[in-house]
Amino acid sequence: MKTKTNRKYLALLFLLITMPLIIFCTYILTMLVVSIFIYIKYGNFIFDRYDFYTAFKLAPLGLIAGIIIWFGECRRLGIKIFGK
């Protein structure tokens, strides 16, 4: 029983750290790829510092996504979050 409790909190910690990082990196990489394609086609590189600001604004959505994924994963594994 104790291992399920430890797994529950380790999974929550993992998701709350990694999901914002994944969203941040995905946005930055997507904008870089789009900028490279536009540079090849039109000669105008559109990636700038405002894309980093936008990525930092989108990263907290990873916290919400992490909690939702964590809740679903605990339900799938049969770990009761609230109570015994």
More confident residue, 23 or 79: 23
pLDDT of residue 29: 92
pLDDT of residue 59: 84
pLDDT of residue 63: 83
Cα(74)–Cα(7) distance, integer angstroms: 9
State the pLDDT confidence band at 5, using cuts at 50, 70 and 90. low
pLDDT reading at 77 higher than 80: no
**pLDDT tens digits along 17-59:** 888 888 889 988 998 998 899 889 888 888 888 888 888 888 8
pLDDT reading at 67 higher than 80: yes
* Alpha helices (runs of H) in 43-83, residue ranges in sequence order: 49-58, 61-77
